[in-house]
């Protein structure tokens, strides 16, 4: 895990240096770039799969997380019944699409883990640990 985090930090530093050198004033938009790298590191720890930084799935993942973080207060939060009247404008449909993206991504990743997992192997990530616990629960 340390190696993965170190690799992610090394990539971030390299990317920041490249962007700084290519910009006319040496400036870098660090918040957006930093967010991508942190999200990717957390996803890798959880799933054991690192997304490439030019992967559109990573960009969508990060922007959806940012939406949840920044868009937590919407009309539907104040008046939930508005989701029936103006679902798009109330923020309900964007929230539904965002949650569907995360659900689909997690479902796909968990299915891949279930198919590839051997009971004899040591867990490689948090999903493996979770599956070991869930699949080995005593039946009641």
The answer to whether 64 and 71 are in contact (CB under 8 A) is no
Q: Which of 70, 96, 111 is the last residue of a domain?
A: 70
Q: What is the domain extent for residue 85?
A: 71-140
pLDDT band at 137 (very low <50, low <70, confident <90, very high): low
Do 55 and 75 fall into the same domain?
no
Supply the DSSP symbol for 97.
Answer: H
pLDDT tens per residue across span 81-124: 988 999 998 888 988 999 999 999 999 999 999 888 766 678 88
The pair of three-digit structure tokens given for residue 42, joined into one six-digit string: 């957390």
Do 37 and 98 fall into the same domain?
no
Query: Is the pLDDT reported for residue 125 higher than 70?
Result: yes
Do 125 and 78 fall into the same domain?
yes
Do 7 and 66 fall into the same domain?
yes
């Amino acid at each position: 895990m340390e190696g993965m985090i170190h690799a992610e930090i090394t990539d971030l530093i390299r990317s920041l240096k490249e962007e700084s050198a290519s910009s006319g004033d040496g400036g870098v938009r660090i918040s957006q770039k930093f967010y991508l790298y942190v999200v990717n590191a957390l996803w890798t720890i959880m799933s054991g799969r690192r997304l490439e930084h030019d992967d559109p799935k990573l960009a969508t993942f990060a922007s959806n997380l940012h939406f949840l973080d920044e868009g937590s207060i919407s009309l539907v939060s104040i008046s939930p019944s508005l989701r029936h009247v103006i679902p798009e404008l109330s923020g309900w449909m964007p929230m539904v699409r965002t949650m569907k993206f995360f659900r689909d991504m997690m479902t796909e990743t968990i299915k891949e883990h279930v198919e590839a997992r051997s009971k004899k192997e040591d867990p490689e990530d948090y999903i493996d640990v979770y599956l070991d616990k869930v699949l080995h629960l005593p039946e009641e």
